[in-house]
Structure 1
Amino acid sequence: MSIRSTSRSQLSRRTVLRGVGVGLALPALDAMTPAFAKSTDAVGPQRFVAIETNQGILPQYFFAKGEGERKQTSPYLEILKPFRDRMTAFAGVSHPEVDGGHTAERCFLTAAPHPGRSGFRNTISVDQFAAERIGHLTRFPSLALAIGTKQSLSYTQSGVQIPGEDSPSSLFRKLFIQGSPEAVNAQVKKLRQGRSILDSIGERSWQLGKRLGPADRQKLDQFYTGVRDLEQRLHKTEQWELKPKARVEMDPPQDFKDPGALIEKTRAMFDLTRLAFETDSTRLISIYIHQNAAKPNIKGVDTGTHPLTHHGNQPAKLKQLRLIESAQFEELRNLLAGLDDSRTGGHSLLDETSVFYGTPLGNGNAHTNTNLPVLLAGGGFRHSGYQALGGHSDYPLPNLFVSVLQRLGIETDSFATSTGTMRGLEIV
């Protein structure tokens, strides 16, 4: 009997887990592979913010009409007119195989297929895919922000949702308020304890490797490499804990208990997003704008967003829904303006930030998940203002994620159901 066969018969899975000091299933190790990233270009470090508004966007007010020189703008894109040469709105894109109406919300940054089916398990979101590779470069590898919910758009390698931060005041403290020396020392102690545990696991996995065959030893070596890499990340986090946080000239924002403060909450989170990027506290942010039955504090609106999306083409409901969505596009315009006004190393922060905005519903009234109204602004891309990519669902939106990942300096040519990079989106 070969050594390999003997090893398999002697070692159960429980024995292996005990051997490395773990009482649970081994984690997915590809989330721990060493980071690899290109050096940044002359413009500077690149950033990415992904924003989802969950109740759809009225397509008749988003998509441009006509073709070529006769192509007209749209009411919503007209709001963003100051940035027409720094953004591209897309038509004819969607996530292949993502269906299920509102259940598609959780797949906006993952593109995991069929979220409405029983037994669905999500996959990693594009921001976390990037965070695994470049997150160590900043104090916070990523931020998952939320408006109107405590959920988020961000999912780990194993498909677990990261809780959303919905409190502007808590986010401000996290970003910019230095803890007391006692609190900092306590956190550093926890991190060092974690590194000590990983040291023990690594040593036990090395000892266990002596009892395995070549193939299993190779797998365990990969696990050991992952443990060592995670230990390095903990060490990096410890170093950040010992460094003072960035200081900003801004009073701590207030929290909003009013459920109708949709626009006010959005403005506060957008302002903190800009500050987080300005201070290089993070380079990756997701923002989940979750609208429900609460009536927004917008003049002319007397109904909640969700009920209005079931408009049945009634003019009165469409008018109110357009008021809500127009207000949201105005806040997006203000975010772009704030990034554009901010300079880092002589460059506009907007040129260093890919701003992805859109919805998982192509038509909120019909609950379709095709022909999604989405746009990308900034990032130093050569934008076209508007890009019609044919059809209503045949062009994969994950291609856009590949382009953004490459712009972030991450060496990858695929993500989820992508087929390449985004057509017509080139780096200047």
Structure 2
Amino acid sequence: MKTLTRRTVLRGAGVALALPAFEALAQTSAKSPNRLAVLYMPNGVNPFAWTPKGTGSQFELSEILAPLAPVKDDILVLTELMNHGSITGDGHYYKIAPFLTGTTISKTTGANLNAGGVSLDQLIAQKLGNLTPLPSLELSVDPPTTYVDTNVGLTALYGSHISWSTPTTPVSREINPQAAFDRLFRQGQSGKGVSASDASVLDAVMDDASGLKKKISAADRLKLEEYLDAVRAVEKRIAFDAKRRKGSILDDPILRAESEKLDKRIKDWYAVPGDKRPLDHTEQVRIMLDLMVLGFWSDSTRVSTFLFGNEVSGRNFSFLPGVNGGHHEYSHHEGKADKLDPYKKIGAWHMAQYGYMLQRMKAIKDGESTLLDNSMVLIGSGIKDGNAHSPYNLPIVLGGRGGGSISTGRHLVYSKETPLCNLHLGLLRRMGVQAERFGDSTGELKGLSERDFAGLTG
């Protein structure tokens, strides 16, 4: 009998219980859930080395996209998308903060941030978050920037966030891989079991509740019983999640082995006593990407975001051959070859990490297909050319087949200035959020599936 790695969710009384995989469980007809991951690259890309040659399925990967050759048939390269709300101000911050909101940020030098809307990922988390232990997972490798950028008169906090639970509330990102791992697979900071008390809140107050029932009307007693039932339902879910994190979630032996390997890699990441810096930036990023993959595989969450770095990131990429400086420095290339070439190589490195994640997901069975088949993995930037801070014709790639709703292996070229939010609207709907519009969308992006392919340049 085939081992099924997909989890089943039993729902009742407001509780969602995700079961581990069972070999004899007859669920081949059940549909696997969709997942969405968004990876954000700061500082744009070398605009002269990004766009593929050819359109449709007859396209050639560019120099920057070349690392995606092993997954070429699993991606869509989307050309001529833009975020219209990001053109109102100069610099990086107007481009990154609304990348997933499709809105315009408010100018401020303080903490009173306003992105203008709720982000794509958080709308999905609000809709589906009750089905998984973690409504969403936000990761990065850099702490938020808190200074005021006097060049544009904005707080640099805007450059650290793409996820917004409300227009004024950015979602904090986890940059410590051990803490992120523990959120997925352990309860409590020690990682040694349940840290919260196992005692029931209802048991503790039942005597008072019984006394109260004698003093109130029949209608109020009914309301109280409904309230207590709701609290009990929440407690049962918390207890289940605690047990799940302690081991049952890893009943799949392959998933358990992969999680143990990743746990060891994370510990090795802090290999030098007293040194809290990553020993290898590529390994640091891949650990975070693997956390996202395991989060999807174990159904601990179905939506996740990752920032390769904050906007205006000056991270030094000297570990790459032919690169001897920082990312932001090279993005302001001034058309000079000695800057454009390293800028190109940094872009290709980002694509290599994206390709690594897609290949990992492609190798994981998920029901009758793969984890990648049942996911949508978006990578992009709010800037095309870092030298011009250009928000036009953004570098956007979408991986995965969205549960069979996306036809991959193509380069699609749209009319100039097609709203990026048309793509976001399509992703929202594929994740089960029935929205009429999103941001500045003018309709769902055409061409993602074969049935609406006609009429596109691609």
TM over 0.5: yes
Aligned counterparts of 1:310 and 1:112: Cα–Cα separation in 2: 26
Aligned counterparts of 2:58 and 2:31: Cα–Cα separation in 1: 35
Q: Which moved more, 1:264-273 or 1:106-115?
A: 106-115
Aligned AA for 1:279?
S
The counterpart of 1:60, out of the listed 29, 48, 60, is 48
DSSP-derived class of the 2:64 partner: helix
Corresponding position: 1:293 with 2:314: yes
Aligned AA for 1:240?
D
Q: Which moved more, 1:119-128 or 1:347-356?
A: 119-128
DSSP-derived class of the 1:357 partner: strand
Change (3 A) 1:280 1:117: same
Name stretches of at least 5 consecutive residues in structure 1 with no aligned partner.
1-33, 200-227
Aligned AA for 1:166?
I
Name stretches of at least 5 consecutive residues in structure 2 with no aligned partner.
1-13, 16-27, 145-159, 210-228, 251-255, 271-275, 452-458
Change (3 A) 1:241 1:299: same
Change (3 A) 1:311 1:350: same
| Partner in structure 2 of residue 343 of structure 1 | 365
| Partner in structure 2 of residue 283 of structure 1 | 302
Aligned counterparts of 2:436 and 2:75: Cα–Cα separation in 1: 23
Aligned AA for 2:137?
L
Aligned counterparts of 1:48 and 1:71: Cα–Cα separation in 2: 25
Q: Is the 8 A contact 1:402 1:420 kept in 2?
A: yes
The counterpart of 1:168, out of the listed 177, 190, 203, is 177
The counterpart of 1:107, out of the listed 88, 98, 103, is 98
Alignment of 1:168-247 (within 5 A): 168-179=177-188, 184=194, 186=196, 236-237=237-238, 239-243=240-244, 244-245=246-247, 246-247=249-250
DSSP-derived class of the 2:347 partner: helix
Alignment of 1:45-56 (within 5 A): 45-56=33-44
Q: Deviations over 1:150-189 (max 9, x none)?
A: 4442111343011110111221122123448997362667
The counterpart of 1:425, out of the listed 448, 452, 455, is 448
Residue 397 of structure 1 and its aligned partner are, at CA, apart by 0.8
Aligned counterparts of 1:267 and 1:182: Cα–Cα separation in 2: 25
Q: Is the 8 A contact 1:61 1:74 kept in 2?
A: yes
Change (3 A) 1:375 1:188: farther
DSSP-derived class of the 1:410 partner: coil
Aligned counterparts of 1:230 and 1:113: Cα–Cα separation in 2: 40
Alignment of 1:26-425 (within 5 A): 43-65=31-53, 72-99=60-87, 100=89, 101-103=91-93, 104-116=95-107, 121-122=114-115, 123-150=117-144, 151-179=160-188, 184=194, 186=196, 236-237=237-238, 239-243=240-244, 244-245=246-247, 246-247=249-250, 248-249=256-257, 250-251=260-261, 252=263, 253-254=266-267, 255=269, 257-258=276-277, 261-290=280-309, 292-296=313-317, 297-378=319-400, 379=402, 380=404, 381-383=406-408, 385-391=410-416, 393=417, 395-425=418-448
Q: Is the 8 A contact 1:136 1:233 kept in 2?
A: no
Pairwise CA RMSD of aligned residues?
3.7
Q: Which moved more, 1:250-259 or 1:365-374?
A: 250-259
Residue 41 of structure 1 and its aligned partner are, at CA, apart by 8.7
Aligned counterparts of 1:68 and 1:344: Cα–Cα separation in 2: 28
Aligned counterparts of 1:142 and 1:341: Cα–Cα separation in 2: 23
Q: Is the 8 A contact 1:144 1:152 kept in 2?
A: no
DSSP-derived class of the 2:372 partner: helix
* Count of aligned pairs: 365
Aligned AA for 2:92?
H
DSSP-derived class of the 1:60 partner: coil
Q: Deviations over 1:323-351 (max 9, x none)?
A: 22212211111111000000011311001
Change (3 A) 1:68 1:406: closer
Q: Which moved more, 1:184-193 or 1:160-169?
A: 184-193
Residue 235 of structure 1 and its aligned partner are, at CA, apart by 6.7
What percent identity do the matched residue pairs reach? 27
Residue 406 of structure 1 and its aligned partner are, at CA, apart by 1.6
Q: Is the 8 A contact 1:88 1:377 kept in 2?
A: yes
Q: Deviations over 1:169-226 (max 9, x none)?
A: 2211221234489973626679989x99xx9xxxxxxxxxxxxxxxxxxxxxxxxxxx
Residue 306 of structure 1 and its aligned partner are, at CA, apart by 0.8
Residue 83 of structure 1 and its aligned partner are, at CA, apart by 2.3
Aligned AA for 1:401?
H
Q: Deviations over 1:43-89 (max 9, x none)?
A: 51110000101111222221124567985431223321232222111
Aligned AA for 1:410?
V
Residue 117 of structure 1 and its aligned partner are, at CA, apart by 6.6
Aligned counterparts of 1:283 and 1:183: Cα–Cα separation in 2: 24
